[in-house]
């Protein structure tokens, strides 16, 4: 069985497409765990309606505390031998999980990864496709490819994990960029990771999502997660440390731009004082030098 965990918050316009793409999978031995993270719209009711229609759907209702806690709640009740994830505003190909489990079994791997494409409101899609169609990797190479963003990113939603790989790993409560904090730990545990560029996951780009929302202090989580990964690679995989350090600088530069284009009233709130911001900007410039 595959357990698929879906954090749900404010996804009413997209939730039907998301859940139906799961329930229509050609691989039918699944359980869909919808974690209603204190939604203020009708998302929670929609989750309950699907649970009443299909016994494969399980619903957890909880107070809002972010996607990390929602995923952890889903992991705590998951019964599958394999674990997958999905975001509640995205959708997937009908054969995504059949495709991923076939990759796992065919190559005796611990983690399988498929290609994804970004979809936009105007309907255009931009695929993320490397030249090589299939790649079989050990943990060091897999982490390096993730850092390079050359094949895939740290997102957990286009990956299928053998359950034991995630045992003892949890998502960081209260943080953004929770995938970046977590995915490399799973890759490090795996004996073999298999990647295919076949597009099976459709990543919706929309205003109001967590990643595309206006500036808030948690944007600094990108830097901290990148720094954690940088320090990890320096200790365990020194050959990829330069790649990790470059990714850390990229995170700092991205955060700087996020701050630069934030509205002044947001930038100099009680969360972040003006002098602290100037100190951060000076550190950015120093790092790039």
User: Over 80: is that where the pLDDT of 245 sits?
Assistant: yes
pLDDT band at 205 (very low <50, low <70, confident <90, very high): confident
Question: What pLDDT sits at residue 282?
Answer: 62
pLDDT band at 213 (very low <50, low <70, confident <90, very high): very low
Question: What pLDDT sits at residue 212?
Answer: 46
Q: What is the mean pLDDT of residues 44-72?
A: 96
User: Over 70: is that where the pLDDT of 145 sits?
Assistant: yes
Q: Which of 85-94, 123-132, 135-144, 217-226 has the lowest mean pLDDT?
A: 123-132
Question: What pLDDT sits at residue 121?
Answer: 79
Question: What pLDDT sits at residue 226?
Answer: 94
User: Over 70: is that where the pLDDT of 207 sits?
Assistant: no
Q: What Cα–Cα distance (Å) separates residue 205 from each residue in 118, 120, 125, 126, 164?
A: 7, 5, 10, 11, 32
Question: What pLDDT sits at residue 258?
Answer: 75
% of the chain residues with pLDDT over 70: 83
User: Over 60: is that where the pLDDT of 272 sits?
Assistant: no
pLDDT band at 31 (very low <50, low <70, confident <90, very high): very high
Whole-number average pLDDT of the chain: 88
Q: What is the mean pLDDT of residues 104-113?
A: 97
Question: What pLDDT sits at residue 265?
Answer: 47
pLDDT band at 119 (very low <50, low <70, confident <90, very high): confident
**What is the Cβ-side half-sphere exposure of residue 179, based on CA atoms within 13 angstroms?**
16
CA distance 234 to 49: 49
Q: What is the pTM of this model?
A: 0.87
User: Over 60: is that where the pLDDT of 269 sits?
Assistant: no
User: Over 70: is that where the pLDDT of 90 sits?
Assistant: yes
Domains plus CATH for the chain? 2-204 (3.90.550.10), 217-288 (no CATH)
Determine contact, residues 155/166, Cβ cutoff 8 Å: no
Distant-in-sequence, close-in-space partners of 257: CB < 8 Å, separation ≥ 6: none
User: Over 80: is that where the pLDDT of 73 sits?
Assistant: yes
Q: What is the mean pLDDT of residues 219-241?
A: 94
% of the chain residues with pLDDT over 90: 73
Question: What pLDDT sits at residue 286?
Answer: 60
Question: What pLDDT sits at residue 148?
Answer: 93
């Amino acid at each position: 069985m595959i357990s698929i965990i879906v954090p749900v918050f404010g996804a009413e316009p997209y939730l039907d497409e998301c859940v139906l793409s799961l329930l229509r999978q050609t691989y039918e031995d699944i359980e869909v765990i919808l974690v209603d993270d204190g939604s203020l719209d009708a998302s929670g009711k929609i989750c309950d309606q699907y649970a009443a229609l299909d016994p494969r759907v399980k619903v957890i209702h909880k107070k809002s505390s972010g996607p990390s806690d929602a995923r952890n709640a889903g992991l705590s009740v998951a019964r599958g031998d394999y674990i997958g994830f999905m975001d509640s505003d995205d959708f997937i190909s009908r054969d995504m999980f059949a495709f991923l489990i076939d990759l796992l079994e065919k190559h005796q791997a611990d983690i399988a990864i498929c290609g994804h494409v970004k979809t936009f409101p105007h309907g255009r899609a931009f695929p993320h496709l490397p030249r090589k169609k299939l790649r079989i990797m050990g943990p060091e190479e897999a982490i390096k490819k993730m850092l390079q963003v050359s094949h895939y990113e740290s997102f957990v939603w286009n990956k299928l994990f053998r359950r034991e790989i995630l045992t003892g790993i949890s998502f960081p409560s209260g943080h953004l960029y929770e995938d970046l904090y977590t995915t490399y730990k799973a890759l490090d545990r795996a004996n073999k990771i298999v990647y295919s560029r076949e597009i099976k996951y459709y990543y919706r780009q929309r205003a109001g999502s967590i990643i595309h929302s206006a500036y808030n202090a948690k944007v600094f989580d990108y830097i901290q997660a990148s720094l954690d990964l940088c320090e990890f690679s320096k200790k365990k995989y020194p050959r990829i440390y330069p790649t990790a350090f470059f990714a850390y600088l990229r995170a700092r530069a991205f955060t700087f731009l996020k701050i630069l284009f934030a509205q002044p009233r947001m930038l100099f709130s009680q969360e972040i004082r003006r002098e602290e911001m100037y100190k951060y900007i000076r550190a950015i410039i120093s790092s790039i030098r």
